[in-house]
């Protein structure tokens, strides 16, 4: 199973990039789904042997409640079989990864190899991102939106690399890697975020570092590690801001980074005012601001309490590359507003679905804190950094449609399940098979 996990990790982070770069058959974009089918069979067989004893009851309750909400939404909105299949693909394909560590406990050496592979994938983003930036300049373009690494989206690239940096911080705090190695890898991993111009880096990175530091550092050493982290963050900022502004120098449509966050009118235009421009909003074709992507769908659903509670049905606003029969019936109406996960969740799952998803993030956050504090093994080091990852993914609901990208959705569910299983294992009587 270890080999299969490594294959899954490698493919979900690179397969789409390889298929697109080599112009391979489009059917290969469905490699993650094929792997998920194999995982479901394995998990069902292996899980029935140990009765899924490492899966916490709270998650069964959450999955059950979410299934009821999804079913009610489908019955209410009647999106059709094709869109429901599309919705299931996006929402459920990565879910088997959550159960994997519970039915096949991961040993210390196995986890170390998995982390080394992901570190290699993270470092691979540097040369790929630099090449993509060079291509942009060669074509006399300036936007960093096409600096996507191997994960096919600039925002997703930043979330992936910030998450990797946070896990590295957790390992440094738990003395799994030295300070010098951490510092070097920290800058190498995050450099692509300076050339893909994702403004959210200046929010997600400090917040994630602060949470991981507070939870992961040993008592009495938080000040020392805090100073080291602050120095690394200031050094990164001293690199990030000048490079960002230099790359924007000849771009007539963007502004300097500090001006963006300090100019109220510009910030309002980015978040909300775009939705007041022609071609955006309901029925529009141009992307709206992220603020509009929150307010407009809520206002639309609020006209009907049932729609507000359960949404329009899973898949009802989802796009599809399988043809119109699999495209959501409301997709063209709302497509200009589908710029973050929130707009999809609220429109397809309603307020109840959004609440359940938020609770699930809270449960994952609690598991990460517990394992970080009480697991002396490598999983505890990963959990220390994972506390920050869970929070930035929760906030990322308002930022990007991350759940549709296998590179982050598969890895998020896997490590969330691994940490959850470790928490259950730590509360069970000691058994040789459960030791890290």
Q: What gap in Å lies between CA 321 and CA 317, rounded to an integer?
A: 13
CA atoms within 13 Å, Cβ hemisphere of 294: 12
Instruction: Count the residues in the chain.
Output: 436
Give the DSSP letter string of 15-30.
HHHHHHHTT--GGGGG
Helices (H), 257-402: 257-262, 264-271, 290-301, 305-310, 331-334, 341-374, 378-395
The answer to whether residue 283 sits within a structural domain is no
The pLDDT value given to residue 131: 92
Burial letters 45-55, b for 16+ CB under 10 A, else e: ebbeeeebebb
Q: Which two tokens stand for residue 57?
A: 């009851």
Secondary structure percentages of the chain, helix, strand, coil, to 5: 75, 0, 25
Q: By C-alpha distance, which of 225, 123, 116 is closest to 169?
A: 225
The answer to whether residue 413 sits within a structural domain is yes
Total tally of structural domains belonging to the chain:
1
The pLDDT value given to residue 247: 59
Distances (CA, A) of 92 to 84, 88, 165: 11, 5, 27
The pLDDT value given to residue 251: 57
The burial class, CB within 10 Å (0-12 / 13-18 / 19+), for 304 is exposed
Cα dihedral 103/57/436/373 (nearest 10): 160
The answer to whether residue 319 sits within a structural domain is no
The pLDDT value given to residue 26: 80
The count of other CB atoms within 10 Å of the CB of residue 329 is 18
The answer to whether residue 217 sits within a structural domain is yes
State the residue range of the domain holding 176.
2-260+343-428
The answer to whether residue 278 sits within a structural domain is no
- Please answer whether residues 200 and 208 qualify as being in contact, where contact means their C-beta atoms are separated by less than 8 angstroms: no
The count of other CB atoms within 10 Å of the CB of residue 28 is 15
The pLDDT value given to residue 432: 42
The answer to whether residue 78 sits within a structural domain is yes
Question: Which segments in the chain show pLDDT lower than 50?
Answer: 261, 267, 273-275, 278, 431-436
Q: What is the pTM of this model?
A: 0.88
- Please answer whether residues 315 and 84 qualify as being in contact, where contact means their C-beta atoms are separated by less than 8 angstroms: yes
The pLDDT value given to residue 336: 86
The answer to whether residue 374 sits within a structural domain is yes
CA 190 and chain centroid, separation: 16
The answer to whether residue 308 sits within a structural domain is no
Angle CA(233)–CA(235)–CA(239) in degrees, nearest 5? 110
Q: Which residue has the tokens 């993914």?
A: 393
């Amino acid at each position: 199973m270890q080999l299969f996990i490594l294959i899954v990790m490698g493919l979900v982070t690179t397969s789409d990039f390889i298929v697109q770069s080599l112009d391979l058959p489009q059917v290969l974009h469905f490699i993650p789904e094929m792997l998920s089918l194999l995982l479901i069979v394995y998990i069902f067989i292996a899980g029935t042997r140990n009765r899924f004893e490492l899966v916490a009851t709270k998650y069964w309750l959450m999955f059950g409640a979410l299934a009821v909400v999804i079913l009610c939404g489908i019955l209410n909105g009647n999106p059709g079989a094709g869109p429901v299949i599309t919705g299931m693909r996006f929402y459920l394909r990565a879910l088997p990864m959550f159960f994997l560590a519970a039915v096949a406990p991961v040993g210390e050496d196995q986890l170390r190899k998995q982390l080394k592979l992901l570190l290699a994938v993270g470092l691979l983003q540097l040369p790929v991102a630099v090449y993509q930036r060079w291509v942009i300049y060669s074509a006399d373009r300036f936007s960093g939106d096409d600096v996507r690494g191997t994960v096919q989206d600039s925002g997703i690239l930043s979330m992936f690399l910030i998450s990797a940096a946070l896990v590295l911080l957790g390992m440094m705090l738990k003395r799994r890697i030295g300070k010098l190695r951490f510092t070097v890898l920290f800058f190498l991993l995050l450099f692509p975020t300076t050339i893909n111009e994702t403004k959210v880096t200046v929010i997600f990175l400090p917040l994630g570092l602060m949470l991981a530091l507070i939870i992961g550092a040993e008592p009495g050493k938080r000040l020392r590690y805090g100073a080291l982290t602050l120095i690394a963050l200031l050094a990164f900022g001293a690199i990030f801001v000048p490079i960002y502004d230099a790359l924007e120098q000849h771009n007539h449509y963007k502004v300097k980074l500090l001006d963006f966050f300090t100019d109220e009118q510009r910030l309002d235009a980015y978040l909300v005012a775009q939705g007041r421009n022609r071609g955006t909003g309901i029925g529009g074709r141009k992307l709206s601001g992220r603020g509009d992507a929150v307010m407009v769908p809520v206002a639309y659903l609020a006209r009907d309490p049932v729609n507000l509670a359960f949404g329009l049905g899973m898949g009802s606003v989802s796009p599809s590359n399988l043809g119109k029969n699999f495209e959501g019936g409301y997709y063209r109406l709302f497509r200009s507003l589908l710029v973050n996960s929130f707009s999809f969740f609220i429109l397809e799952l309603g307020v109840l679905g959004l609440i359940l998803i938020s609770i699930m993030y809270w449960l994952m956050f609690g598991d990460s804190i517990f394992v970080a504090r009480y697991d002396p093994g490598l999983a505890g080091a990963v959990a220390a950094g994972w506390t920050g990852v869970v929070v930035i993914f929760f906030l990322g609901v308002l930022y990007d449609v991350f759940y549709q990208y296998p590179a982050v959705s598969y890895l998020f569910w896997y490590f969330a399940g691994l940490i959850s299983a470790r928490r259950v294992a730590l509360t069970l009587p000691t058994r040789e098979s459960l030791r890290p």
